[in-house]
């Protein structure tokens, strides 16, 4: 992913064209989700931290410093959403989906009994997230887990490493799937998941 170690932060380029994931996610969805929502978080973050103690920090350092602070909630929300969206774009690819492989698949089968059980847990928790948020595959230092977070919250604020995520805010799927979040999550797993990205994240997490 693009280096986000210095202010001012920039909107990272997508790892593919806006129409690359059609028909599963439309270019129209990307024009709003990436071009407007993600871009707004970047702009807001730069405005919020200009001239503050956060200005010299990397994106991840800002997130960790602001996490849990009522005073800095706006900074956390925008910084986390910049990170979350960048991670989400890379969690998908054209021709994705299918099955994990190598050490990640072995760990999934160890921690979830089977790959199919992991898939069901991921889709079930993503569909059950009340309101806006994210569903994640994370490494907690000892095992893989499926978790969900509300709004901008993310695994690094809880000492976990993100391996994979799906965005379940309505703007991520509503133009293409309306209120059918389970259908969107099924397509995400079956047709879009970038297992190469997830495998690299897992290898980094267990070092």
102-112 vs 195-205: helix crossing angle, rounded to 10: 80
CATH number of the domain to which 58 belongs: 1.10.287.990
The answer as to whether 16 is a domain residue is no
- C-alpha to C-alpha distance for 19 and 134, rounded to whole angstroms: 23
Domain that holds residue 108: 102-205
CA distance 151 to 113: 30
| Domain edge (last residue) among 35, 58, 90 | 90
Q: Is the pTM of this model over 0.85?
A: yes
84 in the same domain as 33: yes
Tell me, yes or no, whether 128 and 182 share the same domain: yes
Q: Could you tell me which residues come within 8 angstroms of residue 68 by beta carbon, excluding any fewer than 6 positions away?
A: 157
CA 28 to chain centre: 20
> Does any domain span residue 54?
yes
Report whether 193 contacts 91 (CB < 8 A): yes
Residue 206 has pLDDT above 80, yes or no: yes
Q: What is the pLDDT of residues 135-188, one digit of tens each?
A: 999 999 999 999 999 999 999 999 999 999 999 999 999 999 999 999 999 999
List the one residue out of 71, 67, 75, 78 whose CA is nearest residue 49. 75
Assess if residue 1 is contained within a domain.
no
Percent pLDDT > 70 in the chain is 99
Asked whether residue 75 falls in the same domain as residue 126, the answer is no
Does any domain span residue 147? yes
- Helix orientation angle between 73-90 and 59-66, rounded to the nearest 10 degrees: 130
Please identify, among 90, 114, 130, the residue that sits at the C-terminal boundary of a domain: 90
- Structure confidence at residue 5 (pLDDT): 85
13 located within any domain: no
* Average pLDDT of span 66-71: 97
- The total number of structural domains that make up the chain: 2
Reported confidence tier of residue 1, pLDDT bands at 50, 70, 90: low
pLDDT exceeds cutoff 70 at 2: no
Do 62 and 119 reside in the same domain of the chain? no
Let me know whether 77 and 159 are in one domain.
Answer: no
- Mean pLDDT, the chain, integer: 97
* In a domain? residue 2: no
Q: In the 3-class helix/strand/coil scheme, how is 123-150 assigned residue by residue?
A: HHHHHHCCCCEEEEEEECCCCEEEEEEE
Distance CA(149)–CA(126), nearest Å, equals 9
Check whether residue 153 and residue 179 sit in a common domain. yes
**Is residue 18 a part of any domain in this protein?**
no
182 and 160 together in one domain: yes
Looking at residue 113, which CATH number applies to its domain? 3.55.40.20
């Amino acid at each position: 992913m693009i280096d986000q170690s210095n202010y001012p932060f920039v909107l990272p380029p997508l790892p593919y064209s806006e129409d690359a994931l059609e028909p599963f996610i439309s270019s129209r969805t990307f024009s709003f989700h990436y071009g407007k929502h993600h871009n707004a978080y970047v702009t807001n973050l730069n405005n919020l931290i200009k001239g503050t103690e956060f200005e010299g920090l990397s994106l991840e350092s800002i997130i960790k410093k602001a996490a849990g602070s009522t005073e800095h909630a706006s900074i956390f929300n925008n910084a986390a959403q910049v990170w979350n969206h960048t991670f989400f774009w890379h969690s998908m690819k054209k021709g994705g989906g299918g099955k994990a492989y190598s050490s990640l698949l072995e760990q999934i089968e160890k921690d979830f009994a089977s790959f199919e059980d992991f898939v069901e847990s991921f889709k079930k928790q993503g569909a059950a997230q009340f309101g806006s948020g994210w569903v994640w595959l994370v490494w907690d230092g000892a095992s893989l887990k499926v978790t969900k977070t509300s709004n901008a919250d993310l695994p690094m604020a809880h000492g976990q490493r993100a391996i994979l995520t799906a965005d379940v805010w309505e703007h991520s799927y509503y133009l293409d799937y309306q209120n059918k979040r389970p259908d969107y999550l099924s397509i995400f797993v079956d047709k879009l998941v970038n297992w190469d990205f997830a495998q690299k994240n897992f290898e980094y997490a267990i070092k």
